[in-house]
Chain A
Amino acid sequence: MSDEIVSGEKITALERRPLGSPWNSSSDIDMSSDLDITGSKGAGIHIYPRPARRGARRDSNPRPHPVTEGDAPAMNSPESRDAVRRHWDAARRYSSQMVVAADCGDPISLSNAASDLVFALDDLWKLRGVRETDWGGVLNFLQGVMKSIDHAMGYESLTSENCRAIESVVNHHLGTWTIDKENVREALNRLRSAGLDPWAPISEEQED
């Protein structure tokens, strides 16, 4: 009987073994990668990664996509969602550190925590394609506020009230749940009521 050629089937596996060996689908198959299997009964099978198809995305390396009309998250993989959650956790931690530093009157720690927060927000911005537009809207406003403070008096000038507002926006309006327009409105109110200026990036610059 001639060897039976198997090729082109989408199958996931990690090791090479002779055809006919028993497969235990629960332990032998790695669901994380796409592989091609090809070979013959005599020579065993060869397994190698399937080349990426045109237009396919690698979810493990998400790239931001431009602001578009739709809200469909094009890179909404578990990995990218997890990355958002991790950067959000970091942002929450740094904003909380800002509050503590402001309450203690420690401008150096305050400025360091604020810088850390800015880096965490930058990391989140890179993943904006994963999330809905309104989430990106809140993030954009928050980043603008941080930039305006940095350009004006520096992070050392942030008050406890300012820091609490920033912490509140990070905690309540940048989370892993769905963020909508009402969240953006609340975030704007929260920032404005603490004396921060969410519209500074499209306002005139310092007049002097």
Chain B
Amino acid sequence: MAGSGTSIFLDTSVQIARMVHGPGTKDRIKRRISEFTATITSSVVKQEYKRRLLKEARYLLDQLNKRKSFIEVYYHVERLPESYPKLRRKRHICLQTLGHFFGKADDSELCDRLKLYLHYLLTLGLDEFEDGVTQVVRGSQCGCSKIPVKERIRFRRYEIGTEKCSECRTSCGIVEFLVERRERLQAILRYLQALPEAKKTDEIRRIETFLSEVQDDPATAVAKEPCLTVGDLLIALESIGTSTFYTLNGRESQHLCRPNGQDLIVCPVDPLREEVVCVITEDSWREF
């Protein structure tokens, strides 16, 4: 699979994991990537990275400013999952490690250190995103991804920009992107329609509906906020031309890599479990 002249596409989960997952996962991703000559990611991945990771950094910085205590923010965030179980799954930045690493530091020092980390995650996080890969493909001209994070007041106020395609119509190139790939969209739609209902996730159903609606009138795509609602589809389209797709979540990707003719590698969140490699020439893949 990997070898001379091969490229691997890194989706949002991998790009976030490279920043803030544990050392075991980071090492495994590093080893896997080293097998390829080029690492590719895309503008919609960048937009999701902003929406998931940088938004969380902003939230934590707000909490630090409000509570003025690392410990209080830590317990506040720890208490959140009990009332909002969905948030637990989506939390990325780990405060516990900082407390362990700087065990002798007092609350005020930890507060200062965390502020610095969050400030640089916000102001240099997108540079880190770009510097860590060979190429960011920008075929979709995702408008949200083009909006830089603006530092208004250091350590206090940052603007991440909109998450909605409809709010950056002038800079968004999603419609042209979809028009150019009309045949591919039809091929993906046919593949998804042929899937048994039981195998479809909510996002796969949304993608199916989206494809059905926009294939006749692509101009309506922006109003459907595709980056927000069918991001996996856009990322799959941007990844075309890359031989291997790399993700931590194979549930949707397994159904999008097949019609795109790509190998799929799924890195489990639990580093003790083996990575799953699905080669396009195999008749059947393990289900996720």
Partners in one complex: yes
The answer to whether A66 touches B108 (Cβ under 8 A) is yes
Comparing A17-25, A28-36, A147-155, the segment that makes contact with chain B is A147-155
List residues of chain A with CB within 8 A of the CB of B120.
137, 141, 184, 188
Does A204 touch B at the CB level, under 8 Å? yes
CA distance A195 to B154 in the complex (A): 30
Asked if A66 contacts B111 (CB within 8 A), the reply is: yes
**Chain B residues within 8 Å of A68, by CB:** 155
- Quote the shortest CB–CB distance from A146 to chain B (angstroms): 9
Q: Is the CB of A200 within 8 A of B124?
A: no
* Inter-chain contact total with CB atoms closer than 8 Å: 110
Tell me if A202 and B116 are in contact (CB < 8 A).
no
A49 within 8 Å of B (CB atoms): no
Contact with B along A185-208 (1 / 0, CB 8 A): 100110010010101111111111
Quick one: which of A121-146 are within 8 Å of B by CB? 128, 133, 136-137, 140-141, 143-144
Q: What's the least CB distance linking A202 to chain B, in Å? A: 5
Q: Does B128 contact A (CB under 8 A)?
A: yes
- Taken residue by residue from 116 to 160, chain B's Cβ proximity to chain A (1 for < 8 Å, 0 otherwise) reads as 111111011001100110000000000000000000011110000
A residues near B (Cβ < 8 Å) are 64, 66-70, 128, 133, 136-137, 140-141, 143-144, 147-148, 151-152, 181, 184-185, 188-189, 192, 195, 197, 199-208
Q: Which 10 A-B pairs have the closest CB atoms?
A: A204-B22, A147-B101, A207-B22, A203-B20, A67-B112, A140-B116, A201-B98, A207-B24, A204-B94, A67-B115
Of the A-B pairs whose beta carbons lie under 8 Å apart in the complex, a sample of 27, sorted by A's number, is A66-B112, A67-B116, A68-B155, A69-B153, A69-B156, A133-B154, A137-B119, A140-B113, A140-B117, A143-B102, A147-B101, A152-B23, A181-B123, A184-B120, A185-B127, A188-B124, A197-B23, A199-B121, A201-B97, A202-B93, A202-B121, A203-B19, A203-B23, A205-B94, A206-B22, A207-B25, A207-B271
